[in-house]
A and B are shown apart, each in its own frame.
Chain A
């Protein structure tokens, strides 16, 4: 098994260029959340020349729609949502400096090519492990589109969020490699 790599956003090219599909990483620092509806609005804002709701340069985005925070907690369960719904928007965000996406499930070829071109990576969180992920989240604040409820954009401060590199900047894909290694006949 590979050693654990620590990442702290905002990320620069050298942070992500050395990552390989299959690496385990721990992310600590400020990241942002967004799902389908928020992505649509961010991409529309960029097309109109407006400022996005958070600085995209070096940013890490987590595809999550958390459950409501119980009393005394900063956030509810916060596991990743399925990423393919964000595929239509992801290349635009990478062109504007996005360096890492956190989600679960496959990305399309266009997104994988955009990762290679823009030096960005796709990191998988364990799907469904919402209570475990919530423990890594120390602060949470809605910063845009509050009317979207669970889909609002949040700024999170996370500590040691455990993730796997799925797609790297060289075109590596852990979903394909992992499957090939264990497929039988």
Chain B
């Protein structure tokens, strides 16, 4: 076996801090392209105006180093650690939290983490929500995906009966979007996971949000479902900001995995138009 490659956790803290700032201040290029395309396709004049304002908002945010949205999110972190990496110099989770603390403070980002009952703010946006994976290789791949409350509150996990099939899965997703209406800041992006277990489906649904909006799903079955769902969701008429229009959703991401013979879990993670996600490889 080869010697492990050493990665200092302090470098991970620095990277998380930088990505927190970048994610909240700069609209990703793939989202910008999607807004521009939607503007060309949108039939509603109000909808087109909303999309134009969102592009203007992203420009102002970048110019003035101001967050795109006041809800700078809970700091959701995905970290894929290569199995040939030796993490050195301290506690990994503490390093990630240190990065979040610094990133949110130094960039004047809103801290939204609080006790669920007392509602007392933790003051530094920690603890981060960390999703770890062990992968082949000797690299550490980090993603920071700040997740706002308005869209997260509209997300759902369903434990359907296998008999409902693909039609039942589509129905559950469309009902989720319909019930959410204008609340999650459309045009939305949907992260959908089908299969697996109750807990795993929700994390996978969120993980799909790491994909580029203009990417093509390598799983042909999922790719077809993504296209069909996008068309059906956009027939609902909710539109940009929920004020009516053809652009309710910019993209549906679908991840299909095997599940128990008795189960059909479906998780729908609703993502607002800001679709913040920044990544780095160490």
> Are A and B interaction partners?
yes
Report which A residues bind B (CB closer than 8 A): 1, 22, 37, 64-70, 73, 76-79, 81-82, 84, 104-106, 124, 126-132, 134-135, 149-150, 162, 164, 174-175, 177-185
Contacts A37-B119, A182-B237; A67 near B108 (Cβ below 8 A): yes
Q: Is B182 an interface residue (CB 8 A)?
A: yes
Shortest B173–chain A CB gap in Å is 17
Q: Do B185 and A67 have beta carbons less than 8 Å apart?
A: no
Instruction: Taking A104-B183, A128-B272 as given, write out 19 further A-B residue pairs in contact, using a Cβ cutoff of 8 Å, ordered by the A residue number.
Output: A73-B64, A76-B110, A77-B68, A81-B150, A82-B183, A106-B242, A124-B242, A127-B150, A129-B54, A129-B57, A135-B60, A149-B121, A150-B111, A178-B44, A178-B243, A179-B239, A179-B242, A182-B239, A184-B235
Decide if B241 touches A131 in the complex (CB within 8 Å).
no
- Shortest CB distance A62–B (Å): 11
10 contacts between A and B (CB under 8 A): A67-B72, A67-B108, A77-B66, A77-B67, A130-B61, A132-B53, A150-B110, A150-B111, A162-B53, A175-B182
Contact B44 A70 (CB under 8 A): no
Q: Are A106 and B44 neighbours in the complex by a CB distance under 8 Å? A: no
> Which residues of B are found within 8 Å of A183, using beta-carbon distances?
235-237
Name which of A76, A129, A177, A184 has the most chain B CB atoms within 10 A of its CB. A129
Known: A67-B110, A181-B244, A182-B44. A130 touches B237 (CB 8 A): no
Binary A-proximity of B58-74 (CB < 8 A = 1, otherwise 0):
10110011111111100
Partner among A68, A79, A84, A181 whose Cβ is within 8 Å of the Cβ of B237? A181
Contact between A128 and B69, CB atoms less than 8 A apart:
yes
Contact between A184 and B241 (Cβ–Cβ < 8 Å)? no
- Would A76 and B244 be within 8 Å (CB), given that A82-B150, A181-B44 are in contact? no
Tell whether, in the assembled complex, residue B274 and residue A128 are in contact, meaning their CB atoms are under 8 Å apart.
Answer: yes
Q: Contact at B69–A82, with CB atoms within 8 Å?
A: no
Judged by a CB distance under 8 angstroms, whether B254 is at the interface is no
Q: 1/0 per residue B240-265: CB within 8 Å of A? A: 01111110000000000000000000
Q: Could you mark each residue 167-206 of chain B with 1 if its beta carbon is under 8 Å from any beta carbon of chain A, else 0?
A: 0000000000000011111000000000000000000000
A131 and B243 in contact, given A65-B70, A184-B237 (Cβ under 8 angstroms)? no
Which B positions have Cβ atoms within 8 angstroms of A? Answer: 43-47, 50, 53-54, 56-58, 60-61, 64-72, 108-112, 119, 121, 149-150, 153, 181-185, 235-239, 241-246, 272-274
Q: Complex: how many Å from CA A81 to CA B70? A: 9
The answer to whether B244 and A177 touch across the interface, beta carbons within 8 angstroms, is yes
Closest to B148 in A: A128
**What CA separation (Å) do A73 and B65 show in the bound complex?**
11
Q: B241, A130: Cβ atoms under 8 Å?
A: no
| A70 vs chain B, min Cβ distance (A) | 5
B241 & A104 in contact (Cβ 8 Å cutoff):
yes
Report Cα–Cα, A68/B123, bound state, in Å: 12
Q: Is the CB of B185 within 8 A of A127?
A: yes
**Interface secondary structure of B, over-half rule:** loop
Q: Is the CB of A124 within 8 A of B182?
A: yes
Secondary structure type dominating chain A contacts: loop
B70 pairs with A182, CB closer than 8 A: no
Asked if residues A66 and B108 are in contact (CB atoms below 8 Å), the reply is no
Please measure, in the bound complex, the distance between the C-alpha atom of A175 and the C-alpha atom of B181, giving whole angstroms: 8
Give the residue among A22, A175, A177, A182 with the most B Cβ atoms within 10 A: A182
Do residues A178 and B239 form an inter-chain contact, with CB atoms below 8 A? yes
A176 to chain B, nearest CB (A): 9
Most buried by A among B65, B112, B243: B243
Q: In whole angstroms, what is the CA distance A81 to B184 when docked?
A: 10
Kindly report which residue of chain B lies nearest to residue A134, judged by CB atoms: B66
Query: B271 CB to closest chain A CB, in angstroms?
Result: 11
Q: What is the chain A residue whose CB lies nearest that of B56?
A: A132
Contact (Cβ within 8 A) A130 B243: no
- Tell me the complex Cα distance, A162–B71, Å: 19
**How far does the alpha carbon of A174 sit from the alpha carbon of B45 in the complex, in Å?**
14
Is the CB–CB distance between A70 and B65 below 8 Å?
yes
From B57, B72, B112, B238, residue with most partner A Cβ within 10 Å? B57
CB pair B57 A164 closer than 8 Å? no
Can you list the 5 inter-chain pairs with the closest CB atoms, starting with the nearest?
A178-B244, A183-B237, A127-B185, A105-B183, A182-B237
